[in-house]
Each structure stands twice: as structure tokens, then as C-alpha cells.
């Protein structure tokens, strides 16, 4: 069983980690998700599905190592519509 006090130095630091993960994912999503194609309201989707998707892919003891590659994995797990890069226009 994970001891959050030992891993994060208490509940306050755990909550800072959780908020940092959520903030990074939100920033990444703003740049990479097709919000117009979502089947539901974004904040409700985050509330309902983000935590479960995150914990399915990221160990609670590794939240301090969460990065943009984790964001893509979580978005795919949540089945979010990802923006595709625009093809370069030939010269």
C-alpha cells in the first residue's frame, strides 16, 4: 500500500502534485485536442474520466515524473479527438 506521507511528504505535497498533473494535461489538451468534436462538455469529461485514465497509466508514486508523453497516452485512453499536424504546403 502506498504511503502518501512518505512518498510526497504529506497530503499538501500530494495535492500539489495532483494539481500540477491536471494543469499540465489541461495545457497540453488546449493545444492538441479537437474540442469541437467532443461528445460532452470538456470540464465534465475531465471530472468524470481524467483521474481514472491517469491512474490506469501513471503510478501514484510517479506523479512527479508526469510529462507530455503521459498526456498523449491519457488522451488516447480517454478517446479524445487529437489534432493532427497540418501537412506542409509544397513550395
Domain boundaries, the chain: 4-77
- Does residue 31 register a pLDDT over 80? yes
1 pLDDT band, cuts 50/70/90, is low
Q: Specify the residue for cell string 470538456.
A: 42
**Residue 9's pLDDT is what?**
83
Our CA angle for 23, 28, 31, nearest 5°, is 130
pLDDT in tens, 56-89: 999 888 899 999 999 999 999 999 999 987 444 5
More confident residue, 62 or 1: 62
Across the chain, where does the E strand assignment appear?
Answer: none
Cell of 66: 508526469
- Does residue 23 register a pLDDT over 90? yes
Which pTM was predicted?
A: 0.83
Amino acid at each position: 500500500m502506498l504511503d502518501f506521507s512518505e512518498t510526497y511528504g504529506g497530503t499538501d505535497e500530494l495535492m500539489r502534485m495532483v494539481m500540477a498533473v491536471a494543469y499540465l494535461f489541461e495545457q497540453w489538451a488546449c493545444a492538441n485536442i479537437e474540442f469541437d468534436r467532443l461528445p460532452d462538455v470538456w470540464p465534465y469529461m475531465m471530472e468524470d474520466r481524467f483521474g481514472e485514465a491517469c491512474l490506469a497509466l501513471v503510478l501514484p508514486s510517479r506523479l512527479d515524473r508526469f510529462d507530455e508523453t503521459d498526456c498523449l497516452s491519457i488522451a488516447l485512453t480517454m478517446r479524445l479527438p487529437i489534432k493532427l499536424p497540418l501537412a506542409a504546403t509544397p513550395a
